[in-house]
Amino acid sequence: MELQKINKLKPKKFLSIGHHDLPHVGDLSKPYFITIGCSLTAGIFLDYKDTWSSRLSKKLNMEHVNLAMVGSSLDYQYYTLIKAEKILKEARFVVWMHTYTKRYHLMRFRHIIGDMLARRGQGEDLEYNEKCFKKIEKFVELTKHKKILHTNTWGYDVKTKLALEKKVCRKNKKYMLNNHPWHDRASDDLHAGPISHSNLANDIHDHITRYFTDWYQ
């Protein structure tokens, strides 16, 4: 894979002068999958080997590319997915950990101020919001024919998770509900810790090997 192509998937810096590094790019000459999400997929304040992406990679005996961006919104993550489909065409599948739904991205200005400064609406979703929930349904619907497993990050409120279970998960095996609490924290005491990541990696592995064996064999 040419470095120039990988650079197209990296978050832009201010005035588009350079790019921020991706969390991880494995050996693309071997079978690999993609992970997309926010800081809880990037694994900040955590040894990368302890992230759910890295643990899943080892459990499936596959390489992976982590395209997560800290503080990213669902819109930005979908934008990243569309770009990745054009560049990383040999990827076997994608695991997309949805971030908090109230976040948004100033896409029109990202080429000027950079992707980090274009982020808005940081923080957890502490209560159900119908408009925000529709975002989740929209992105699941848009990708229903693709090899993409959706899940949610830690911190979704109870009502949102119940709605996901009833309206999305029951009719679509491509959405796996992450119903785990925060079992532990990373070194900043804000992000998920190694036990939380390990539990999620186990769940994703079990879900994929149960319902989507053709994705990795």
Are 44 and 185 contacting, i.e. CB atoms less than 8 angstroms apart?
no
Assign 205 a pLDDT band (cuts: 50, 70, 90).
very high
Residue 143 is predicted with a pLDDT of: 96
CB atoms inside a 10 Å sphere around CB 117:
14
Among candidate residues 183, 212, 210, 207, the one with its CA nearest the CA of residue 50: 183
Digit-coded pLDDT (tens) for 56-80 = 999 999 999 999 998 899 999 999 9
Higher pLDDT, 136 or 108: 136
State which H helix or E strand residue 63 sits in.
strand 63-66
Are 177 and 165 contacting, i.e. CB atoms less than 8 angstroms apart?
yes
What's the Cα-to-Cα distance from 209 to each of 31, 52, 96, 195, rounded to whole Å? 16, 16, 17, 21
Digit-coded pLDDT (tens) for 110-155 = 666 666 666 666 666 556 778 888 989 999 999 999 999 999 999 8
Rg of the chain taking only CA atoms, in angstroms = 16
In this structure, what token pair is assigned to residue 118? 């274009």
Among candidate residues 118, 107, 29, 110, the one with its CA nearest the CA of residue 71: 118
Range 82-109 average pLDDT: 88
Domains in the chain and their CATH numbers? 3-215 (3.40.50.1110)
Q: With DSSP H G I counted as helix, E B as strand and the rest as coil, what are the percentages for the chain, rounded to 5? A: 40, 15, 45
Give the span between the Cα atoms of 213 and 93, in whole angstroms.
11
Are 69 and 115 contacting, i.e. CB atoms less than 8 angstroms apart?
yes
Assign 209 a pLDDT band (cuts: 50, 70, 90).
very high
Percent of the chain with pLDDT over 90: 66
The single residue listed with the structure tokens 């998937």 is 9
